[in-house]
Amino acid sequence: MRNFTNVRWQVLLVLGILSVGQSFAQPLSRKDADEIRVLAREKIKGLNDLLNAIANEDLSNYERRYLMMNSYMPSNDQIFVNDGVIVEDDTDPKNRVSAPGLDTPIEKYLSNFDLFYTKTETNTIEFTNLVVGDVKVDKYPFVKVFYTQHFKGKSNRDNTPFQPISRVAELRADKSGNDWIVSLTRIAFNSTENAKAVPITPKPSATYDSLQRKKEPIVAQPTDKKPVATPEQTRQTEQVSQQISQLSQAEIQQARKWGAIKLGAGVAALAFGAVTYSMLNKDYKDYKNKIAESEGFTSYAKPGAFISIGAAAVGIGLSVSSIFDFKTAKGR
């Protein structure tokens, strides 16, 4: 009886293991697999857009931090599965293939990219030759996307230009109701080893878990606390502030200089107009005393009268313009 009981439990145990294995290895429908592949391609495009946004010089430091944080924390703009995602760092042009020491947490990777990649007005990052692999199932459905990465900007580290490099991204798919949610779990240099590597599950931080338990996307509001700047960022901000201050002082000096020039020219023009008009008026009085049927002053004194009036008008205009220059210098 005891042997029969032991055998029964062993059979049940084997059946349980087989059922669990079948649940993990259950093939996806063609419709599900196609949907996952399409969503994976869109996520890679989203990564391309994210890097271009971070490299845009029109964004403030806070806006860049906002975009970076939302990419790996629960939000409507999330593209990474969590903040535990590991990326092989390619922000140094010398890094072109996998090597020890390049694995970088996603938060640090994006910070390195923000710090070392030059900012421009136009997009300088492009992903080409996108190839989406077959969807496979391990503990969860996953897919790998291969692409060529072009960093057309420059590095702040040195003058070494970036070269096109081959990258591979791993993404996992999770079912939420009737929809699939696809997220990036790893990005690396493309190699035979990385192309065949088994999927990994990034370990999230306690902060991520806390936000995830709320079951709602967390979207930062304008009143949210801004990220704390690192010493390096503070130093850069001070340098920029000093440069702006120097530019402002130069503009003030320039405004004062032009104000003084215009004021001097205005006074000179007014004086010339007044002297010329006075001389013409004196000559006209002498002429009128000698001629019985004399012509009018305007007819007698032209074009000198018009020249004196024009000089006076120019002098007034320059004087008024100089006032605005002095006000501009004072306001700054």
Q: What is the pTM of this model?
A: 0.58
Structure tokens at 204: 């999230």
Residue 319 has pLDDT above 80, yes or no: no
Going through 22-76 in order, the beta strands assigned E by DSSP cover: none
> What is the per-residue pLDDT for 227?
46
> What is the per-residue pLDDT for 2?
47
- Cis? peptide before 105, omega within 30° of 0: no
In 3D, which of 69, 104, 53, 74 has the Cα closest to residue 227?
69
> In this predicted structure, which of 42-51, 131-140, 194-203, 288-297 has the lowest mean pLDDT?
288-297
Q: Which residues contact 110 (CB under 8 A, 6 or more apart)?
A: 54, 68, 71, 72
**Residue 41: which region, alpha, beta or left (left: phi > 0; alpha: psi -120 to 50)?**
alpha
> How many Cβ atoms sit within 10 Å of the Cβ of residue 267?
14
> What is the per-residue pLDDT for 144?
96
What's the pLDDT band for 49 if we cut at 50, 70, 90? very high
Strands 141-151 and 165-176: antiparallel
CA distance 50 to 64: 9
Average pLDDT, the chain: 77
> What is the per-residue pLDDT for 282?
66
187/306: higher pLDDT: 187
> How many Cβ atoms sit within 10 Å of the Cβ of residue 190?
19
Give the model confidence (pLDDT) of 229-263 as tens digits: 556 555 655 665 565 455 456 566 666 666 667 66
The answer to whether residues 50 and 59 touch, using CB atoms and an 8 Å cutoff, is no
For residue 183, the SS3 value is strand
Residue 50 has pLDDT above 90, yes or no: yes
> What is the per-residue pLDDT for 17?
42
Average pLDDT for residues 268-274, to the nearest whole number?
Answer: 63
Q: Which residues contact 48 (CB under 8 A, 6 or more apart)?
A: 125, 126, 127
> In this predicted structure, which of 24-33, 121-130, 134-143, 185-194 has the lowest mean pLDDT?
24-33
Residue with tokens 């975009």: 67
CA distance 251 to 259: 12
> What is the per-residue pLDDT for 196?
85
Give the model confidence (pLDDT) of 21-47 as tens digits: 444 456 789 999 999 999 999 999 999
Arch. (CATH architecture) of 20-228: Roll (3.10)
Domain locations along the chain: 20-228, 237-331
311/187: higher pLDDT: 187
> In this predicted structure, which of 89-98, 193-202, 256-265 has the lowest mean pLDDT?
256-265
Average pLDDT for residues 42-57, to the nearest whole number?
Answer: 96
> In this predicted structure, which of 181-185, 208-212, 213-217, 309-313 has the lowest mean pLDDT?
213-217
> What is the per-residue pLDDT for 188?
96
> How many Cβ atoms sit within 10 Å of the Cβ of residue 202?
20
- Percentage of residues in the chain having pLDDT higher than 90: 45
CA distance 64 to 306: 62
> In this predicted structure, which of 30-44, 131-145, 186-200 has the lowest mean pLDDT?
186-200
Strands 141-151 and 125-132: antiparallel
> What is the per-residue pLDDT for 22?
43
> What is the per-residue pLDDT for 195?
87
